[in-house]
Structure formats: structure tokens, C-alpha cells
């Protein structure tokens, strides 16, 4: 839980706000390597359904996942606004996440994030670890460690 | 000048010497009288001692010195080789290796004195004197040997060579020196000093030439001032010289033998030529050939006159051996040690070049149809580019290839030790040590192979009594065979032991709940053997420190799979088992056949493709409700790639199917594809960590148009 530690130590953290369905989610900007437009995703057989496949990111192969499918919110709807957020994670390497749109970058302090709020949907697993308040808006903060599959370090 | 910069070379060189010592001692154990081997061992021990000394590793030097003494006594027939001594020598090797490990880790040899070993070695030496009744103290004898041993064999050929050849004898007389230096010589000689010229010959195998030269200069400082040298001292320091260099010194001493001895005492110095020189010699040097006569008397015909006389007899005897070796062993492999990271970088650049080339190829094939561009010459150039990149790729690959020898040559020793420990006579036979593999693979394949060999030694080979009862020779045989097959390298490790008792494995599997008793009878032999590769599945009845801790085969399997290979077992109860390890020859770039399944593109490694067939739908037969084709006497199962890869079902019902027949060892499979696209050189990329555990897809590649194609792992399909 390295990013949690960061959050308690640092005063303010910047988040990229993205739209998936009707909700807004925040992704810690320090984990984001890149944001790219939607492009052809090559399907890979025999992987969990929330991986639409892989893309060619300037000569590198990057696996892309669908946060929406993973959270059980249905299939992605690809529009002109769709983007792939490329995360650079220490263990998993580069991973892309498909989002409906990228909204803005906001700065939140720990006091503006409600860590106790429960996800309204009764799900077994939750993929957020807090709800940030940006003015009137509520922004769910992604828990990257639970949204991106763990990989065994062997 | 600091010796620490030579640490890497020292480490490499020491490992090599340890290996040749180990090989030599192994041979010696079987043929205690083999003089060639004894000489070889002696030389290795001697070099080891010299290097340790140069680097200032006193403890290591001490130990190797005593080992060398023992070898020297063996060589002189004062000690007989027995198995106890072989054990002791192996222990010493282990100790040296421990020093080396310590040097690797901390740049220091550590504090272990290994007195026990040294005492034992000395006990051997003392024993030899007692029994031999030889009054000559060992060290003295050694000294004389050291110098004579190196000199005669190799110096002889150079004696007749051209004086202008820098490696020739007396080169110091003909070196070109500057006006300035000539006047220095004159001044020195006018002030009453003796001026001597030296040509120092360094052994061919020597890697730390500059370090040796440095030590020579240091030794000369004790006598007087170095006036000049050829090549210049800075060139010598940068190792910009061949096997010899010349120095002119001014000294008060007239004891030329002492100077020669001091220089000769530096290790790996082959010989020293020394003679009086005068400034005039160099002044005339430009017009006339060098005057050799005035100094002839100090320079003896034999390069080691001082020591040759007392030890003449043994020297003459030995002369044959080193000379013969020099002929057998061509110049120490003409290699350059390159940091693997540099090669990786080169490899990446080549990969990018290939991707760029592929895009040009793709553009050109498009422009052919759409524009009237002068595509003829463009085409030609592209083919040229293609040829270059392919060649470049091959060369880079070859640079990365090393024989597996460096990894497997420690195994005979290991099996020997195990044989003693387990009280089971056994022998390791190896073939194909010269088979080459990518350096990274070679470095990492050692552990898995070691596991397999230990497994064979511990579980495979039965006790001599059991073997005798089964009508087998008492000595067990373990083998390791390596060879290349297509794009793979196969390493087989096996034994003629008891084989795998599948019954017992199955019981164990049931016991551990890996399979229910009802299912058990339906399992094939192969499925049962696969249990052995499950984590912490140990068959050992008792846990030994050799194997049986349940961290064996599953680790072997995962290590090999991490290298892109796989492992198979064949076993016959009572006759032994064979583990077949299959490794990819190349890691990054392969030739592949591109195929289409629906609208998706896939790559199949060309190396595993046997043929491509057009099969009529009527030729498909069924065996156990599975589709097969009968092709030239082979029954080949059909794999419908569209189904396997979960493609959308298609309505089309073609009369003919395109079948790519692939093979793995003796097994075949026919892959049904929709379309063949042609052959292409592809760069293999990982799918990314989160999805790379894919059993069917081994990776992805980027095509010329930027599209991504998946690479089908044929080995996983069969």
C-alpha cells in the first residue's frame, strides 16, 4: 500500500479525473505514464474478460484492461472521447485502462477524502479506497492495487 | 597504477584456471600417471598463484603455492597420487573458489586461512621427503622449476625470429628511441652507470599484461633508473603492446643475472633478454642494422641460463610437453569479453531496425498498387536493407551465443562427489558440450540442470546391490546430451536407474489430495509423471541434503519455462528416466510464418513448422472423436485454431483446409488456419506482466503497419 503511505505523508496529491459510465474516478497522477487516444486493441485469447487485449504503444506492447468490465458495470462503449490511461506500476509494468473520457486534474488533500464511505453497491470487492470531494462533485479514488491484477514475482 | 582495475579479469581468469584444475584433477584420478595432465595442472596452479600474488591476495597465494608444491612433487614422481590426495585437492579447489566468491562480493579475499588444508598439503610434502630421502629442500627445487618450466618450450621458437619483430629476442637493441633519450643514455653512461637493455617476453596466455609490465618496472626500480622504453610507458600502461616490450635502464649494478632474476620473478613473464647497450647503437640504428656483437657475451643463447644448468635434466624432459601443448591449443581463443548489457543494447537497436525495415516493406507493397512511383529501384534497395538487417541480426545473435560447456563442465565433479557421498558408484557421460545457446540462457540453465542431475544421482541410480540383482552393471550411468533441433536446443538428462515408479507417485498424489481415488485410474502415465512437477511434491523417502526437500522439479520446470523452454520426462520402470529440456535458440528475434485466423494475425515460429498442407475436408478422419489427418504414414491430430483461440464462429464451410503441420520432438499437430500471409522476421515482445501467463500465446510482435500480431506457442499446443 505504498500510495496510501504517500497520501498520509504528503499534504496534497494530484489526481487525474476520468469518467467511466456516469461516475467520476480519480487516479493518482504519479502512477500515470501517459494518456493515449483509443486505438486498435488486439484481442488476446484465454485471458480474463476484462482484458480487451494489447496495444502497440510506440513499439512497446502494453496490455489494456477495462475497468468497467472488471467492476461489473457492463461493456465499454467506445466513443471519440475514449482514452487509454497508461499506468506505470512497479511490479506490473505498463498497463492501460480504458476510460470513457478524461476530465481534468484536481488536487486533493487527505482531509478532502472520505476514507470511511462505503461503496453504495453491495459488492464483494471494492476497487476504490476513498471518496474525494471536489466542490459539489464526488470522485471515487481508484485503489490501483485492487483494480490491476497482482502478478506473482517469481 | 592500481591493480583493482584488473579485478574483473582476475575473476574471469581465476574461474578458468579453477575449472582447468578441476578437469585436470578429475583426469588425474583415473590416470594418476598422465604426465601431460600433471603438467597442465601444474601450470594452472602456477598461474593461479601468480595472479593471486599480483592482486595481493596473500591467503589465496599461500594456499595455491602449497598446492603447486604438491603438484611439483607429483611431477617429479616424489609423491604418488591417491584418492585421499584427490579429495584434498578438491577441497583446496573449493577453498580457492570460496576466496574467489569473497573477492567477487567484497573485492577482498576474506580472512579464512584454510590452515587445515595447508597443513595437510604440507604433510604430503614432508611425507615425500621422508620417503624419498631427498635432501634438496622443496622450495629451492621449485624455484628452479618455475623459471625453466616456462622458458624452454616457448622461448625456443622465438630465438630464430627476426630482430625487428618486437617479440623477437634482443629487440631492445633495435628499438627506435628519441634524440632526447639517446642523450639521456649518453649522460648516464658518462656518469659511470652501466646501461642495460632488456626485452621482456610475456606469456601468451597472460591477460594482465599491463600489470605484469608494471611489476617489471617496479622490479627494475630497485636497480636503477629506467631511461626509456619501447613502446612508451604510457602505451604499456594502456596495454598497447604485443607480447614483449623493451626497456633501457641505467644502474650501478653489474650483476646482470640479478636483474634478470628479479624481472623473471614476476609471474607470467616468459623470458628476459638482457644486454649492455650504448648510446651509439641507437644513433646508428637508423642507418644500419643493429650491432649485435658487442653485447653478445651477456646474452646467452638459452633464455634462462642461470637456472638451466642445475635443472637441466628435468627441464629437457618437460620441454616436449609444453611445446606440444602450444601446438595443440591455438592461440588462446581470440575473444573479447563484452559486457552483456552492451550486447543487449545492440540487440535492441537491431530489433528496432527490423521493425523500421518491416514498415518500409509494408509501405512499398502498398505504393506498388496505388502509385506509379519508381518502385523497381525502391524495391531493390529494400531487399538490400532486408539482407543487411538479417545478416546483422545473425551476427549479433552469434555474438551472444556461448557453448554450454562453461555451465556443464562443473557437473562431472559434482557427480563424483555425489557418488562418494551416496556410496553409489556412478559415472557421468556428457555429449554436445559445444552446443551453443544465448548467453542469458546458458547462465540460467545451470541450476535446473544441476537439480536434474542430482535427482538422477539420488533417486534414479539404485544402490549397487539392487543394480547387481537387476542384472545391471554396478556402476550407474548418468548422461547429459545436448544438441540442436530446429530453433530449439535440446538437453537430455537421464540415468539408467530404476525409473519413475508411477504407482507410487499416484499413491502419493491421492494421499495428498491432488487427485481423487475414482479419477486416479483414468490418468495417463504422462499425467501421473506431471505430478512430480507440482510444487512441494517430493518422492524421497527420507530427506537428504541432496534432494527430497520438495523444492526440486517444480523449480526446475518454472526456471525452464521462464527461459521460454519446457521440460518433458520419459521413464521406464527398471530402466531409467530421461528428462528432456527444450530451450529456444534465440530469445528475441525469430523467423515466423504469419497466418490469418478470421481477421486476426498470428505468427508461428518457422523452426517448428514441418510442412504446410492443403487438406480436403473429406480426408479428415476421426480417432477417439478427435480430428486427425493421415499424412505420409503419420497420424496427425488437427487443431482448429479458430476454436482454440475463441474466434467468432464462421459460416463458411470450405472444401479445403490450410493446415500448418508443426512438430515438437516426435509429436506433430496440424493447425488449421484461414489464410497464409508469408514469412517474416519478427521481434518477440512480452504480452505484459499481467497477462503473460498465457499458455497458448508466447508473446506478441509489432508488424510493419504498426499492428500487433500474437505469437502462437507451438510447444504448448502439442
The sign of the torsion formed by the CA atoms of B286, B292, B293, B297 equals positive
Compute the mean pLDDT over every residue in chain B, rounded to the nearest whole number. Answer: 76
Q: Which pLDDT score is estimated for B163?
A: 42
Question: Measuring CA to CA, how many Å separate A24 from each of A19, A139, A140, A143?
Answer: 5, 5, 6, 14
3-class state of residue B274 by DSSP: strand
**What is the mean predicted confidence (pLDDT) over B39-65?**
82
pLDDT greater at residue B310 or residue B529: B529
Q: pLDDT band for A123, please (50, 70, 90 cuts).
A: low
Q: Is B68 a catalytic residue?
A: yes
**Confidence band of A58 (pLDDT split at 50, 70, 90):** confident
Q: Please report the pLDDT score of residue A74 as a whole number.
A: 86
pLDDT at B423 over 60: yes
Annotate B100-157 with DSSP letters as a single string.
Answer: HHHHHHHSS--S---HHHHHHHHHHHHHHHHHHT--S-HHHHHHHHHHHHHHHHHHHH
Q: What is the pLDDT of residue B541?
A: 52
For chain A, the 3-state helix, strand and coil shares in percent, each to the nearest 5, are: 15, 45, 40
Give the chain A residue nearest B689 (alpha carbons): A92
* Helix pair angle (B375-400, B340-370), 10° resolution: 160
Buried b / exposed e over A18-51, threshold 16 CB at 10 Å, is bbbeeebbbbbeebbeeebebeebbebbebeebb
Pairwise CA distance, residues B702 & B708, whole Å: 5
Q: Residue B84 belongs to what H/E stretch?
A: helix B83-106
Q: What is the DSSP letter of B647?
A: P
**Shortest CA distance from B695: residue in chain A:** A46
Distance, CA of B556 to CA of B579 (rounded, Å): 11
> B235-271 burial by CB neighbour count: b if 16+ within 10 A, else e?
ebbeeebebbbbbbbbbeeeebeebbbbbbebbbbbb
Query: Looking at beta carbons, which residues of chain B come within 8 Å of A43?
Result: 600
Mean pLDDT over B644-663 rounds to: 87
Peptide bond into B231 cis (omega under 30): yes
- Chain B residues with CB inside 8 Å of A84's CB? none
B353, B386, B397, B444, B564 from B346: Cα distances, Å: 11, 18, 10, 21, 21
For residue B70, report the phi and psi dihedrals to the nearest 5 degrees: -60, -45
B687 touches chain A (CB under 8 A): yes
B345 falls in which pLDDT band (50, 70, 90)?
Answer: confident
| Mean predicted confidence (pLDDT) in B362-384 | 69
Burial of B596 (0-12, 13-18, 19+ CB in 10 A): middle
Cβ atoms within 10 Å, residue B675: 12
Look at chain A and count its residues.
154
Average pLDDT over residues B418-430: 88
Out of B562, B600, B707, name the one closest to residue A43 (CB). B600
pLDDT-derived band at B373 (thresholds 50, 70, 90) equals low
- pLDDT value of residue B672: 93
Residues linked to residue B494 through DSSP beta bridges, in sequence order: B479, B578
Cβ of A60 and B685 within 8 Å? yes
Using alpha carbons only, how large is chain A's radius of gyration in Å?
Answer: 15
What is the per-residue pLDDT for A33?
92
Compare CB distances from B690 to A56, A59, A95 and report the shortest one's residue: A95
**Cα gap B289→B263, rounded to integer Å:** 28
pLDDT tens for residues B143-175? 433 333 333 333 334 333 444 444 555 677 777
Q: What is the mean pLDDT of the segment spanning A114-139?
A: 74
Residues of B in contact with A91 (CB under 8 A): 689
Residue B651 confidence (pLDDT) above 70: yes
Looking at residue A37, what is its pLDDT? Answer: 92
pLDDT at B416 over 80: yes
**CB-based contact, B696 to chain A, within 8 Å:** yes
Sign of the alpha-carbon torsion through B131, B136, B139, B144: negative
* Beta strand spans in B22-103 (E): none
What is the C-alpha to C-alpha distance for residues B172 and B249, in angstroms, rounded to an integer? Answer: 11
Q: In percent, how much of chain B has pLDDT > 70?
A: 80
Mean pLDDT for the stretch of residues B283-289: 51
Instruction: Indicate the range of B86-100, B166-180, B408-422, B612-626 predicted with least confidence.
Output: B166-180
B360: enclosing H helix or E strand? helix B340-370
Active site residue B112: no
Q: Is B253 helix (H, G, I), strand (E, B) or coil?
A: coil
- Closest CA relative to residue B60, chosen from B98, B106, B104: B98
Number of helices and strands in chain B (H, E): 24, 22
Judge whether B455 counts as a catalytic residue. Answer: yes
R_g of chain B, CA atoms, integer Å: 33
Q: What is the pLDDT of residue B581?
A: 92
| pLDDT number for residue B24 | 84
Q: Is the per-residue pLDDT at B302 higher than 90?
A: no
| pTM confidence score | 0.51
CATH topology of domain A2-146: OB fold (Dihydrolipoamide Acetyltransferase, E2P) (2.40.50)
C-alpha distances (whole Å) from B299 to each of B160, B216, B229, B371, B677 are 14, 19, 19, 81, 76
Domains of chain B (ranges; CATH) run 3-135 (1.20.120.160), 149-318 (3.30.70.1110), 340-401 (1.10.287), 404-584 (3.30.565.10), 589-717 (2.40.50.180)
Is A138's Cβ below 8 Å from some Cβ in B?
A: no
Beta strands in chain A (DSSP E): 12-20, 23-28, 32-37, 53-57, 60-66, 83-89, 93-99, 101-109, 113-114, 128-134, 137-142
Picking from B117, B60, B53, the residue whose alpha carbon sits closest to that of residue B90 is B117
Q: How far apart are the CA of B371 and the nearest CA of chain A, in angstroms?
A: 27
Coil vs helix vs strand at B656: strand
Nearest CA in chain A to B561: A154
C-alpha B318/C-alpha B273 separation (Å) is 22
Contact B582, B664 (CB under 8 A): yes
Residue of A nearest to B705 (CA): A56
Residue B283 predicted with pLDDT over 70: no
pLDDT of residue B79: 79
Q: What is the model's pLDDT at position B371?
A: 58
Q: Strands A23-28 and A137-142, how do they pair?
A: parallel
Measure Cα distances from B174 to B169, B229, B676 in Å: 10, 12, 71
A63 touches chain B (CB under 8 A): yes
Residue with cell 559434482: B414
DSSP assigned state of B165: S
For residue B571, what is its C-alpha cell?
521413464
Cell 484461414: give the residue. B674
Beta-bridge partners for B577: B571
Q: What is d(CA B106, CA B99) in angstroms, rounded to the nearest whole number?
A: 10
Task: Indicate if the pLDDT at residue B304 is higher than 60.
Answer: no
- ∠ CA B322-B46-B331, nearest 5°, is 45
Cα–Cα distance for residue pair B549/B293, rounded to 1 Å: 76
Q: How far is it, in rounded angstroms, from Cα B240 to Cα B231? A: 8
A137 to chain B, any CB pair closer than 8 A? The answer is no
- Give the span between the Cα atoms of B407 and B493, in whole angstroms: 14
At A1 the pLDDT is 47
Check B39, B40, B46, B715 and give the catalytic one: B46
Which position has the grid cell 644513433? B283
Taking residues B387-402, what's their average pLDDT?
78
Compute φ and ψ for B137, nearest 5 degrees: -70, 140
Phi and psi torsions of B694, nearest 5°: -85, 130
Q: Write down the ipTM of this complex.
A: 0.84
Q: What is the mean pLDDT of chain A?
A: 84
Please give the residue that has the higher pLDDT: either B155 or B257.
B257
Per-position DSSP letters for B413-438, written without gaps between them: HHHHHHHHHHT--EEEEEE-TT-EEE
Per residue in B182-208, pLDDT (tens digit) is 777 777 777 777 888 888 887 776 667
| Residue of A91, A92, A65, A60 whose CA lies nearest to B684 | A60
Cα–Cα distance measured from residue B228 to residue B182, given in angstroms and rounded to the nearest whole number: 9
CB contact under 8 A, A42 and B600: yes
Q: Does residue A121 have a pLDDT over 70?
A: no
Read off the pLDDT of each residue in B496-520 and give the average, rounded to a whole number: 82
Question: pLDDT tens digits, residue range B557-581?
Answer: 888 877 878 888 888 888 888 999 9
Q: Where are the domains of chain A?
A: 2-146
Query: Residue B408: which H helix or E strand, with range?
Result: helix B405-408
**Which of B147, B117, B118, B141 is CA-nearest to residue B129?**
B141
Which of B83-92, B123-132, B168-177, B394-403 has the highest average model confidence (pLDDT)?
Answer: B83-92
Determine the length of chain B.
Answer: 718
Report pLDDT digits (tens) over B106-143. 777 777 777 888 888 888 777 654 443 333 333 433 44
B6 versus B645: which is more confidently predicted? B645
Write the CB contacts of B421 (distance below 8 Å, at least 6 apart in sequence): B546
B675 pLDDT higher than 80 = yes
Whole-number percent of chain A with pLDDT over 70 = 84
pLDDT digits (tens, 9 = 90+) for B587-602: 667 889 999 998 899 9
pLDDT score of B347:
80
**Contact with chain B for residue A95, Cβ under 8 A:** yes
Of A56, A63, A148, which has the smallest distance from its Cβ to B687's Cβ? Answer: A63
How would you class B44 by CB atoms within 10 Å of its CB: exposed for 0-12, middle for 13-18, buried for 19 or more?
Answer: buried
Per DSSP, what are the bridge partners of residue A84? A36, A98
Fill in the DSSP letter of residue B519: T
What is the per-residue pLDDT for B158? 39
Looking at the complex, does the CB of residue A58 fall below 8 Å from at least one CB of chain B?
Answer: no
Cross-chain Cβ contact A46/B709 below 8 Å: no
Q: Is the pLDDT of residue B292 over 50?
A: no
Amino acid at each position: 500500500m505504498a500510495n496510501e503511505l504517500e497520501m498520509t505523508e504528503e499534504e496534497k496529491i494530484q489526481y487525474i479525473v476520468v469518467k467511466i459510465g456516469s461516475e467520476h474516478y480519480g487516479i493518482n497522477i504519479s502512477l500515470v505514464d501517459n494518456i493515449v487516444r483509443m486505438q486498435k486493441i488486439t484481442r488476446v485469447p484465454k485471458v480474463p474478460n476484462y482484458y480487451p487485449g494489447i496495444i502497440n504503444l510506440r513499439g512497446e506492447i502494453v496490455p489494456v484492461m477495462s475497468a468497467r468490465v472488471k467492476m461489473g458495470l457492463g461493456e465499454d462503449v467506445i466513443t471519440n472521447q475514449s482514452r487509454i490511461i497508461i499506468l506505470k506500476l512497479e511490479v506490473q509494468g505498463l498497463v492501460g485502462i480504458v476510460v470513457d473520457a478524461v476530465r481534468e486534474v484536481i488536487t486533493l488533500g487527505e482531509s478532502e477524502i472520505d476514507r470511511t464511505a462505503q461503496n453504495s453497491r453491495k459488492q464483494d470487492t471494492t476497487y476504490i479506497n476513498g471518496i474525494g470531494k471536489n466542490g459539489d462533485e464526488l470522485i471515487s479514488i481508484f485503489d490501483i492495487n485492487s483494480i490491476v491484477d497482482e502478478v506473482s514475482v517469481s | 597504477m592500481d591493480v583493482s582495475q584488473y579485478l574483473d579479469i582476475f575473476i574471469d581468469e581465476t574461474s578458468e584456471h579453477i575449472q582447468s584444475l578441476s578437469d585436470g584433477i578429475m583426469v588425474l584420478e583415473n590416470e594418476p600417471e598422465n604426465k601431460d595432465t600433471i603438467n597442465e595442472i601444474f601450470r594452472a596452479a602456477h598461474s593461479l598463484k601468480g595472479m593471486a600474488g599480483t592482486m595481493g591476495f596473500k591467503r589465496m597465494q599461500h594456499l595455491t603455492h602449497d598446492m603447486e608444491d604438491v603438484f611439483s612433487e607429483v611431477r617429479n614422481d616424489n609423491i604418488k597420487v591417491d584418492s585421499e590426495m584427490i579429495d584434498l585437492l578438491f577441497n583446496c579447489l573449493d577453498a580457492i573458489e570460496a576466496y574467489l566468491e569473497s573477492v567477487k562480493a567484497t573485492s577482498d579475499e576474506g580472512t579464512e586461512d584454510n590452515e587445515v588444508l595447508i597443513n595437510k598439503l604440507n604433510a604430503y610434502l614432508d611425507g615425500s621427503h621422508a620417503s624419498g630421502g631427498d635432501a634438496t629442500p622443496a622450495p629451492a627445487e621449485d624455484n628452479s622449476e618455475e623459471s625453466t618450466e616456462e622458458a624452454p618450450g616457448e622461448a625456443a621458437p622465438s630465438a630464430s625470429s627476426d630482430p625487428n619483430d618486437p617479440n623477437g629476442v634482443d629487440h631492445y637493441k633495435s628499438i627506435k628511441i628519441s634524440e632526447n633519450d639517446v642523450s639521456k643514455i649518453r649522460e648516464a653512461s658518462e656518469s659511470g652507470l652501466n646501461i642495460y637493455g632488456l626485452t621482456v617476453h610475456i606469456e601468451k596466455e597472460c591477460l594482465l599484461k599491463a600489470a605484469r609490465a608494471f611489476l617489471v618496472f617496479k622490479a627494475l626500480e630497485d636497480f636503477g633508473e629506467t631511461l626509456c622504453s619501447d613502446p612508451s610507458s604510457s602505451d604499456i600502461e594502456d596495454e598497447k603492446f604485443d607480447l614483449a616490450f623493451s626497456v633501457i635502464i641505467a644502474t650501478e649494478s653489474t650483476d646482470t643475472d640479478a636483474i634478470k632474476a628479479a624481472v623473471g620473478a614476476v609471474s607470467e613473464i616468459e623470458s628476459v633478454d638482457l644486454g649492455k647497450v650504448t648510446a651509439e647503437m641507437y644513433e646508428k640504428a637508423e642507418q644500419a642494422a643493429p650491432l649485435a656483437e658487442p653485447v653478445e657475451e651477456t646474452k646467452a643463447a638459452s633464455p634462462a641460463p642461470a637456472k638451466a644448468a642445475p635443472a637441466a635434466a628435468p627441464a629437457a624432459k618437460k620441454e616436449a610437453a609444453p611445446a606440444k601443448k602450444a601446438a595443440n591449443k591455438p592461440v588462446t581463443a581470440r575473444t573479447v569479453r563484452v559486457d552483456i548489457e552492451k550486447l543487449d543494447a545492440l540487440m535492441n537497436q537491431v530489433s528496432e531496425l527490423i521493425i523500421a525495415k518491416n514498415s518500409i516493406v509494408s509501405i512499398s507493397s502498398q505504393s506498388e498498387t496505388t502509385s506509379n512511383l519508381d518502385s523497381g529501384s525502391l524495391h531493390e534497395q529494400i531487399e538490400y536493407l532486408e539482407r543487411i538487417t538479417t545478416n546483422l541480426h545473425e551476427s549479433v545473435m552469434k555474438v551472444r551465443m556461448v557453448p554450454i560447456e562453461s555451465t556443464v563442465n562443473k557437473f562431472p565433479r559434482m557427480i563424483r562427489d555425489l557418488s562418494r557421498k551416496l556410496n553409489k558408484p556412478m559415472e557421468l557421460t556428457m555429449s554436445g558440450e559445444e552446443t551453443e545457446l544465448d548467453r542469458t540462457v546458458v547462465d540460467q540453465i545451470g541450476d535446473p540442470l544441476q537439480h536434474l542431475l542430482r535427482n538422477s544421482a539420488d533417486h534414479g541410480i539404485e544402490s549397487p546391490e539392487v543394480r547387481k540383482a537387476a542384472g545391471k552393471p554396478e556402476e550407474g550411468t548418468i548422461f547429459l546430451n545436448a544438441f540442436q533441433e530446429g530453433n530449439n536446443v535440446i538437453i537430455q538428462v537421464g540415468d539408467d536407474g530404476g525409473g519413475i515408479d508411477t504407482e507410487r507417485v499416484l499413491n502419493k498424489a491421492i494421499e495428498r489430495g491432488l487427485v481423487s481415488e475414482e479419477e486416479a485410474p483414468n490418468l495417463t502415465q504422462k499425467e501421473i509423471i506431471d505430478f512430480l512437477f507440482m510444487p512441494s511434491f517430493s518422492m524421497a523417502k527420507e530427506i537428504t541434503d541432496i534432494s527430497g526437500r520438495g523444492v526440486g522439479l517444480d523449480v526446475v520446470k518454472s526456471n525452464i519455462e521462464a527461459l521460454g523452454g519446457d521440460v518433458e520426462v520419459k521413464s521406464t520402470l527398471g530402466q531409467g528416466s530421461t528428462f528432456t529440456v527444450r530451450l529456444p535458440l534465440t530469445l528475441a528475434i525469430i523467423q515466423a510464418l504469419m497466418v490469418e485466423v478470421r481477421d486476426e494475425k498470428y505468427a508461428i515460429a518457422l523452426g517448428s513448422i514441418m510442412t504446410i498442407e492443403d487438406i480436403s475436408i473429406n480426408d479428415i478422419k476421426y480417432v477417439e472423436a478427435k480430428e486427425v489427418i493421415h499424412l505420409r504414414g503419420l497420424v496427425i491430430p488437427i487443431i482448429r485454431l479458430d476454436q482454440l483461440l475463441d474466434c467468432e464462429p464462421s459460416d463458411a464451410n470450405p472444401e479445403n483446409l490450410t493446415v500448418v503441420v508443426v512438430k515438437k520432438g516426435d509429436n506433430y499437430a496440424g493447425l488449421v488456419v484461414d489464410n497464409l500471409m508469408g514469412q517474416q522476421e519478427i521481434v518477440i515482445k512480452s504480452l505484459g506482466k499481467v497477462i503473460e501467463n498465457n499458455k497458448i500465446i508466447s508473446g506478441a510482435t509489432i508488424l510493419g503497419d504498426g499492428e500487433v500480431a500474437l505469437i502462437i506457442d507451438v510447444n504448448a499446443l502439442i
